[in-house]
A and B are shown apart, each in its own frame.
Chain A
Amino acid sequence: METPLLSVKSLTIGIRRPKGSDTIIVDDLSFDIQQGERFGIVGESGSGKSLTLRAIADLLPKGVKVLSGSILYNGAELVGMPTAQRRKLMGPEIAMIFQEPMTALNPVIRVGDQIAEGPRRYLGLSKKAAMELAIEMMAKTGIPDPARRARAYPHELSGGLRQRIMIAMALSCGPKLLLCDEPTTALDVTVQHQVLKVLEELCDDSGAALAFVTHDLAVVNQTCSDLAVMYAGHIIEAGRVKDVFSDPRHPYTKGLLDSAPDFDQPDRDLVPIPGFPPNLAARTAGCAFAPRCAFAVDACTVAIPPTLEVAPGHKAACIESERIFEGILA
């Protein structure tokens, strides 16, 4: 097997405290993304999915740090990489799309110039050539009248157009890995769909791999081939999208699927997951989901459950998985 494009190993992210114990937000996380793969990371807000993505992009908020573990991009270690080296990766190798295009675009710079910034730096293009490329990228994302829109400021565009600008900007240098942090959450449902399609098409064309963070299972289903479900800083289930969706092996994944509307079965009753996501500061021993889990047994609160391969390429971290899901199937 060839080396994966991105390999995250035992990544732990948290807030370093001078005395006492550090606050751990993402705990011992591991996953791989292959060339051209579309990998979804699903979880509730606070599950640590966005921080994982930001750690890859070196955009962790102040105070939050990678405490241990490694992030290998094409075999090169990103954790602790010097800025001078890192900046050469950001844009032509790794690019990122953010949740809220209004705040992610610089409000005082014309969108065309913002797209052209990367190509000018990395492809060594002249101002004019970079602008032509920017307009071409805008056209590819389906922005009508791109030459005129390139002269607009972000606040003059609609949310959907702004996110297309973000996509054009992220793909302008032909990255091999595109990090998407809930790129459609801030958009209307109809616009969401269009933007996702544009994103998929362009990734198909360029062969870029996708790391797609979202809380929306329907979006993962539409976009991704593989996924990891995160809860309280752990991956609790991972596998092929079709396997996990048809045969979830962790009660939390099951709960997520039951609580999300399904376009194929609009009449199905939605079942919310009881309780609230855990407080990271008051971490308990054992499975983090146990307090909300209908199937929890005493053993669940003793130790963090190990991740087990439940089927080829399908892993889950639940000691009761077999009992629960074999039982349901039976």
Chain B
Amino acid sequence: MLHRLRFIPGRLVQSIPVAIGVTIIVFFMARLLPGNPALALLGQHATKASVAALSKQLGLDQPLWQQYLIFLGRLFQGNLGTSITYQMPVTQELAQAIPVTLSLLGLALLLSLVISIPLAALAAFRPGGARDLGVRGFTLLGQGMPQFWLGIMLILLLAVGVRAFPVGGYGETAGDHFYYLFLPALTLGITMCPTIIRSLRSSMINVLESEYVGTAKSKGSYGAALFRGHVLRNAAIPTVSVIGVNLGFLVGGSLVIEKVFALPGLGSMMINAIFTRDFPTIQGVTLFVAFFVVVVGILTDVVYTILDPRVDLSSKERA
């Protein structure tokens, strides 16, 4: 097992160019804004003196590549600037918002799997059958729904109609948090389902046609035992990478969903920052999200390797 994880250091090195690329893109975003970047970072109400001071600190009179190095240097010190709206370090703001968004993502992924696995199995056991068509209809509809709209519809049904869940907010205690997170996570989870179901369904069909499922049946493994022992794990392997690739999408979606349900996570932080033109905060969230996606990519490879003993990423060249 361990020897197959030797690829991790190499994989980390490989992601350095991407990480640098991310910082370059984020750096230039500030430069694309009209006017003085220092002004953008301080907000419209900054005094002349503070703009001048920050301009000097950012080296705005220096060549662009030196400004970028200054930016990188500050980044390495964990300095993402100061939020204009809240006058506190962006890192501190992030520290408050990240747990909310990560819990939302985690719960959403969990709910998505809870919904997708049985549906995919239902569809895969008889491809082309009535259940398969039903599941296909569900995925088609799921694909066509704007996430935020689905969120509103769930609020309408489950929070306004049945009053089973709160309309929005985050609550005070950990139990509260779970209760408040459930509906947004369900929304996000459902929108993730079509992708997972499609991937799981097609890999389950492949697995069910494979000879080793025949072997398992010849050992008396039928029904649920067969599914748990020989189908799910094998079918999960390709789906893991699909989920990994799509987690970035889940992050993007969580930003919008947080807005719908008034959750104090990264999404609300970013969208509020956009309305208050709080550029350092926007920059901070963007950077964090992009790095998160890169890290998830590496984690996906690790999980993939653990699940599939045949995979040895260290020995083959990655395209």
Contacts and interface: CB of A to CB of B under 8 A. Distances in A.
B237 A117 contact: no
A104 B212 contact: yes
Given A103-B211, A107-B212, A155-B310, A95 B234 contact: no
A96 B221 CA distance: 13
A295 interface: no
Q: In the complex, which of the residues A86, A106, A166, A179 has the most CB atoms of chain B within 10 Å of its own CB atom?
A: A106
Contact of A107 (B216, B220, B221, B310): B310
A107 to B, nearest CB: 6
A64 B310 CA distance: 32
Contacts of A118: 219-220
Interface string A107-126: 11100000001100110000
A156 to B, nearest CB: 8
Given A106-B230, A117-B229, A155-B310, A83 B222 contact: yes
A108 B307 contact: yes
User: A83, A117, A121 — which one has the most chain B CB atoms within 10 A of its CB?
Assistant: A117
B310 A153 contact: yes
Interface stretch (A6-14, A54-62, A217-225, A228-236): A54-62
B223 interface: yes
Contact of B214 (A59, A86, A94): A59
A166 B220 CA distance: 15
B220 A106 contact: no
Nearest to A90: B220
A117 B211 contact: no
A80 to B, nearest CB: 16
B220 A96 contact: no
A248 interface: no
Given A117-B229, A153-B309, A153-B310, A88 B220 contact: yes
B136 interface: no
B219 A90 contact: yes
Interface residues of A, number: 36
B215 A98 contact: yes
Contacts of B225: 121
Given A59-B214, A104-B215, A107-B310, A117 B209 contact: no
A194 to B, nearest CB: 22
Contacts of A100: 211
Contact of B218 (A57, A62, A83): A57
Given A107-B212, A107-B310, A155-B310, A90 B234 contact: no
Interface of A: 54, 57-59, 62, 83, 86-92, 94-96, 98, 100, 103-109, 117-118, 121-122, 153, 155, 166, 169-170, 173, 179
20 contacts: A57-B214, A57-B217, A59-B217, A59-B218, A87-B221, A87-B223, A95-B219, A96-B215, A98-B215, A103-B210, A103-B211, A104-B215, A105-B215, A107-B308, A108-B233, A108-B237, A108-B307, A117-B216, A117-B221, A155-B310
Interface of B: 209-212, 214-223, 225, 229-230, 233-234, 237, 307-310
